[in-house]
Amino acid sequence: MSDCSLPENTQSQETLSVVHTSAPARPNRYLNRRWLLGLGATGLLLAVGIPLLQSRLVAQDSQSEASSVNVLAVETLTVDTVSSYEVARAYTGEIAALRSSDLGFTRSGELVQVLVAEGDRVSSGQALAQLDTQSLLTQRRQLEAQLAQAQAQLLELQRGARQEAIAAAQAQVRDVDNQLALQRQQRERREFLYERGAISKEQLDEFSFGADALAARRDSAQSSLDELLNGTRPEQVAAQQAVVQQLEASIASIDVDLNQSTLRAPFDGIVAVRQVDEGVVVAAGQTVVRLVESVAPEARIGMPTRAASRLRTGEAVTVNADTESFPATIKAVLPEVNGTTRTQVVVLQLEPAALTRVSPGQTVRVELNETVPTSGLWLPIEALTQDIRGLWSAYAVVPMETEFGDTAYQVQPKAVEILHQESDRVLVQGTLQGGDRIVASGIHRLVPGQQVRPLGD
Summarised one tens digit per residue, pLDDT across range 383-432 is 998 877 778 999 999 988 776 667 789 999 999 999 988 888 999 999 89
- For residues 168 and 280, which has the higher predicted lDDT (pLDDT)? 280
Domain 69-85+374-454 has CATH 2.40.420.20: yes
State pTM to two decimals.
0.47
CA distance 221 to 176: 8
* Closest of 165, 146, 367, 128 to residue 261, by C-alpha: 128
Domain 293-372 in the same topology as domain 69-85+374-454:
no
- Percent of the chain predicted with pLDDT > 70: 80
Domain 100-132+261-292 has CATH 2.40.50.100: yes
pLDDT tens-place string over residues 363-385: 999 998 888 889 999 999 999 98
CATH for 293-372 (3.30.70.100, 3.30.1330.20, 2.40.30.170, 3.40.50.2300): 2.40.30.170
| Phi and psi torsions of 242, nearest 5° | -65, -40
- pLDDT for position 63: 47
Show me where the domains of the chain are located.
2-56, 69-85+374-454, 100-132+261-292, 137-253, 293-372
- At residue 48 the predicted structure's pLDDT band, cuts being 50, 70 and 90, is low
Q: Say yes or no to pLDDT of 23 above 60.
A: no
- pLDDT for position 184: 74
CA distance 414 to 448: 10
CA distance 202 to 187: 12
CA distance 201 to 178: 25
- pLDDT for position 21: 37
- pLDDT for position 92: 93
Q: Helical H runs in 160-233?
A: 163-196, 201-230
Cβ 311 vs Cβ 334: under 8 Å:
no
Exposure string for 67-98, b = 16+ CB within 10 A, e = fewer: eeeeeeebebbebeeeeebeeeeebebbbbbe
pLDDT tens-place string over residues 177-222: 877 787 777 777 777 777 777 777 777 667 666 677 777 887 788 8
- pLDDT for position 245: 93
* Closest of 68, 74, 72 to residue 406, by C-alpha: 68
